[in-house]
Amino acid sequence: MAQPGTHRIAKYAGMEVATVRLAAGDELELEPSTETAWLLMSGAVTGNAAGAEFSFRRASLFDESASCVHVAAGTRVTVRALEDSELTAYSCPNTKAFPARVFRPDDVPNEHRGAGQVAGRCLRFVRTIFDGSTSPSEAELVLGEVVTLPGGWSSYPPHHHPQPEIYHYRFTEPQGYGHAELGERVLKVRDGDTVCIPPGDDHAQCAAPGYGMYYSWVIRHLPDLPYTVPDFTDEHTWTMDGDAPFWWPGGIDRG
């Protein structure tokens, strides 16, 4: 991933995350030695991945779903920026072959999870770009995005899984911030931060009021233990019931 305009921001548990910033007119010719996915964060690009052509444009991480290219090691990829653009790149050292795949916003549902739970305090938008149900068995990465509403929670109730994970954060304003749980630790996260999540750690998130919080998330399947669904922490699963009784001050509308 050592290409012009590429800057590694995290390397953890066999996964690597990088940012790729391109000026208008910049072109990249890539042939990664690893399984790699490129996710458009902003701008407009065109390109080709092993004959699969793509043309992506994204003005808002928060209001638009994802555009992404996912390839096996050794796949030839070209990218040309039509305007100043940024992508994030996700990789792991997998050399198994599979066809290049292009994901456009219409291919990535914008799921509204948490609606109706605990007065909507954990309503968030979840976009699973690809996972074990949509990827060939040779692929090892799982990639998605979450948008947390201002003052709200996501990855909630707290959940965990045996596979390590990486989160990369952005906010609607440069001074925006939130908090990330890693087991019993709590980290303050800001725009551009990246957090590595150890296997088995609970990892709920919250955004400060006034600031929308975005994070991309990437997981790598473990040998003989692919990622499917997380385990929610038992003591908090009652909050998933739409009729769950919880304290609320009298005379104030929960809605």
pLDDT at 16 (0 to 100): 97
Per-residue pLDDT tens digits for 184-199: 999 999 999 999 999 9
Domain contains 250: no
Per-residue pLDDT tens digits for 156-172: 999 999 999 999 999 99
Q: What is the arithmetic mean of pLDDT over 60-88?
A: 98
> What is the CATH classification number for the domain harbouring 188?
2.60.120.10
Domain contains 246: no
pLDDT-based confidence at 3, cuts 50/70/90?
Answer: low
pLDDT at 116 (0 to 100): 87
* Domain assignment of residue 49, given as a range: 6-240
Domain contains 253: no
Domain contains 248: no
Domain contains 147: yes
pLDDT at 2 (0 to 100): 42
Mean pLDDT of the chain: 95
pLDDT at 1 (0 to 100): 42
Domain contains 183: yes
Question: What is the number of structural domains in the chain?
Answer: 1
Whole-number Å distance between alpha carbons of 173 and 239: 30
Q: What is the arithmetic mean of pLDDT over 132-156?
A: 96
Domain contains 45: yes
Domain contains 251: no
pLDDT at 255 (0 to 100): 72
